[in-house]
Each structure stands twice: as C-alpha cells, then as structure tokens.
Structure 1
Amino acid sequence: MNVDDILDECQSKKWESLNISHRGLVLLPARISELVTLKKLLLNNNRLILPPEEILHLDQLEELILDQNQLTVLPDNISSLKHLTYLGVNHNPLSVLPEALGELGELRELWAINCGLISIPASIGKLSKLQKLGLSSNSITTLPPQFGNLKNLQWLNLADNKIEDIPENLKNLQSLVFINLNKNNFKKIPVALTEMPSLQVLLINFNSITSLEDDLILGFSRLIKLDMRQNPLTLRPHHWLGLDFILLGSTETAMDDI
C-alpha cells in the first residue's frame, strides 16, 4: 500500500496510530496535518530534511518518533503538541534542541542519541514529568543548572559525551535510579552523585578517574552497582572488603546503551 492510500485509510477510519517509517520520504505529505485523530506517529528511517511543520496541527499527538532522518532543526512551535509524552529524534544531525522543548509539559521520555548536540537548552528544566532521558553519543560539555529541576527523572544516559563535571544541584534529582556517564572526561566522581537518595546504578567507565575517597564511598552505600572499569584507578584498596558493588579494572564490553 502506498503512502497516499495509507493516509486515505487513516483519515477515513480515524486511526489513532500511523506508521510511515522506512518510506524514503524527503518531505512529509501536507495532508498529514489533517489526521487530527492521531495519537502516535512513526516517521523513523526516512530522509526528512525540513522540520516537519505539518505535525504541529496534530494536537492530540502523544508519541512522535523521528529517529534516523536528516533533520537539522525541529519545528520552532513544537510546544503546540501539548499532549506529547514521548519524543524520539535519535540519529539526526540537529546540533541543538529548541528552547520550546521545555513547554512540552506532559513529556515523559526524550531520546536524542547521536544528534551532534553540543549543549542542552536551559528550558529542559521545565519538563517536570520527564522520567527517561537519552542523550548519549553527542558532544555535550556541560549541563545547565536547570537540569536539577527534573524531580521525576528516573533514568539518564549521558554516555559518550565530553562532560567533565555536573552542576551541584543535580543532587536534587530525587527520583534518579540509573545514570550512565561512560566515555566522558571525568577526573573525579562528582560529590552530587553521592547525594541522590534513589540512585542505585552508576556507570562511569572509560573516564580519567584516579581515586575514590572513602567519604564518597559512604555516600554510595545505597548503590547496587558502581562500575568504574576502564579508569586509571585499577587497584582495590585493602579496606574495601565487602564493597563488591564497586567494579574496577578492565572490561571487554562497557555498556553504553542499557
């Protein structure tokens, strides 16, 4: 079935979900904007170049997947998608995310892996309902202080970036359970990570950490896994008896995309 026929059926039957991925689309058909009953739209693995303005009329949309396209910008008015809970823009050459992203107040999951991002907009701190955030394989060097406002964030992947430190107020991420900081530029473990009350798993492989102070270890007593393999710190001090949750040394497979 060609795209026009799919759109005809979608409109006549008032579909709530539409998948037109893997279609080689360079531009979105203008009539996409008429499919106002849609709640889920998959446009991944096409060749979209221009920001898909047509989707901005879909005010019932809850899930939008734009992975694996050629987008360099997202629509400026993406904030009009007030019901959006899931946004995936992985593997697009975006370099930046729009400030308007912070107006997506219902967003629970945001995925922007391998997008050439060099920074994160401060407005991300407005996403008070965000639970999962994937920003691995970018060129991010710093996080805005507003990151600490993500009180409902549970899962965070910042692996394979260029981060050297994190803002102190990241300790305010009261719900964070998992954080992946593999393949960054950390020379020491930030104190803020020891003050997150829900944190259970910290991955910080392939960095430049040379030591782990005893007072920081006390702050990590609630962790079930602290993976520090592939760092200069390789020898386990004698007084670390029983601290089996701390992993040192080398590993063949450092998991970046758990």
Structure 2
Amino acid sequence: MNVEEIIDECRRKQHESLNMSHRGLVVLPARLSKLTRLKRLLVNDNHLLLPPEEVLQLEALEELVLDGNHLTMLPTAMGSLKHLTYLGLSHNPLSVLPEALGELRELKELWAVGCSLQLMPSSVGKLSKLQKLGLNNNSIMTLPPELGNLQSLQWLNLADNKLQDVPDSFNNLRSLVFISLDENGFEHVPPALTEMAGLRVLLMKFNSITSLDDDLILGFSQLIKLDLRQNPLTDRPRHWKGLDFILLGTIKGTIDNT
C-alpha cells in the first residue's frame, strides 16, 4: 500500500493516528491536510527537506514526530497547532527554532536533540505546561532567562552543549527534579541551582569544575545525586564525610588523559 492509499484509508476510517515513518518521503503529500481528525502523526526517519506546512491544517493534532529528517526550517505558523502536547524535532539540522514555538501552550514534551541549535527562542518561556525538554547534543552557548518561567518543567537535558553558566532565573524552576549539564564548559557550579526546591538529580560530568564551595553544598541538601565525575575537582575534603550523594573522580572504564 503506497502513501496515498494509506492516507485515503486513514481518512475513510477516520483514524486518529497515522504512522508514515521510514518511507523515504522528501515532501509530505498534499492530501495529508485533509485528515482533520488526526491526533497523532509520525513522519520520523524520512528525507523531508521543506517545512512541513501540510501539518498546519491538522488542528486536532496532539502528537507530532518529525525526528530524523533533513529539515532546516519549521513552518513559521507552528503556533496554530493549539492542541499539540508532544513535539519531536530531534536530529534535524534546524540551527534555530521559530518564535512561534511559544504559542504551543498545551505542549508538555519538546525534543530537539542534535539539531545544531545555537540558542533557544525567548518565547519558550511561554510554554507553561512543558514538563520535559530535551536539548542535548547541540551548540547552545547561552540560555534565555525566560526559561525560568517554566513552572511545570520536571526534566531538562542540556548535556553536550557549550554552556558556561545558567540564568539566575533558573531558581524559579520549582518543579524541576532532574537536570543534566554534562559535557559543557562549566568552571563552577551555578549558585542558581542550589535554590531549586524540587531538584533531586544534578549531572555535571565532563566539565571544567575545579572546586565546590561549602555554602553551595548546603543548598544541595535535598539532592540524591550530584555527579561531578570527570572534572578537575577530584579530591574529597575530609569534612565532606557523609556526603555520599556527591560523586567525584573518574568513571570506571574511562581513560583520564588530564
């Protein structure tokens, strides 16, 4: 069954989910826009080059997966997908995300892993229902302070970027439980991270951290894991006795060339 036949069957049977992944698509079929009842659309791992404007007609859409294509741009009117709760954009050479992303007010999960991003639009701070945000494996150097407005955010992955600090507004992320800052350019642990009441796991492996002040440790009393392995800070002070949640040194099986 070819793509057109699959779409026609989906429309005839009024299906709410359509999987068109791994089909070698370069563009989306125009007739896709007729599936107005569609709530879940998977078009990952194709060869899409042009902004998928066809999806903008799918006003009932709740889940959209575009991972693993060749997209360099998204539709500028992405904000029209008012019911979208899940958006997967990973492994596309996007470089930037549109400001219209902030209009997706129902969004709960946003995945933009390996997209060559250098920054995030400030409008991301409008995503008040966002719970999970995956931005690892990009080239992000700074974060917009508006990111601190994400009161529902619970899980954040910023590993493998070019960050050296986080905005002071991060202390407003009261719901955040997990954050990974592995493989960045941090030379210190940002004080803003000590003021996050819900934080339980903080990963900062493979950075350039040389010290951790005692007053910061007091702010981390609620953590169950602070992973500082593969940093220049390797010696555990004697007065850290009992602070077993702080992990230092090298990771087993990793060659330390420092």
Alignment coverage as a number of residue pairs:
254
Give CA deviations for 1:120-159 in whole Å, capped at 9, x if unaligned: 0000000000000000000000000101100110000000
Unpaired segments ≥5 residues, structure 2 = none
State how 1:95-106 maps to structure 2 within 5 Å. Answer: 95-106=95-106
Which residue number corresponds to residue 220 of structure 2?
220
Give CA deviations for 1:77-125 in whole Å, capped at 9, x if unaligned: 0000000000000000000000000000000000000000000000000
User: In 2, Cα distance between the equivalents of 1:54 and 1:11?
Assistant: 15
Q: CA deviation at 1:253?
A: 7.2
Q: CA deviation at 1:55?
A: 0.4
User: In 2, Cα distance between the equivalents of 1:222 and 1:67?
Assistant: 36
User: In 2, Cα distance between the equivalents of 1:58 and 1:32?
Assistant: 9
Q: CA deviation at 1:4?
A: 1.4
State how 1:34-113 maps to structure 2 within 5 Å. Answer: 34-113=34-113
Give CA deviations for 1:35-64 in whole Å, capped at 9, x if unaligned: 011000000000000000000000000000
TM-score (normalised: structure 1): 0.97
Moved more, 3-12 or 194-203: 3-12
User: In 2, Cα distance between the equivalents of 1:120 and 1:252?
Assistant: 34
Which residue number corresponds to residue 176 of structure 2?
176
Q: CA deviation at 1:252?
A: 4.3
Which runs of 4 or more aligned residues in structure 1 lie more than 4 Å from their structure 2 counterparts after TM superposition? Answer: none
Change (3 A) 1:178 1:55: same
Q: CA deviation at 1:218?
A: 0.5
User: In 1, Cα distance between the equivalents of 2:164 and 2:139?
Assistant: 12
Which residue number corresponds to residue 191 of structure 1?
191
Which residue number corresponds to residue 33 of structure 2?
33
SS at match of 1:64: strand
Unpaired segments ≥5 residues, structure 1 = none
RMSD of aligned alpha carbons: 0.9
User: In 2, Cα distance between the equivalents of 1:130 and 1:87?
Assistant: 11
Q: CA deviation at 1:8?
A: 1.2
* Identity percentage of aligned residues: 68
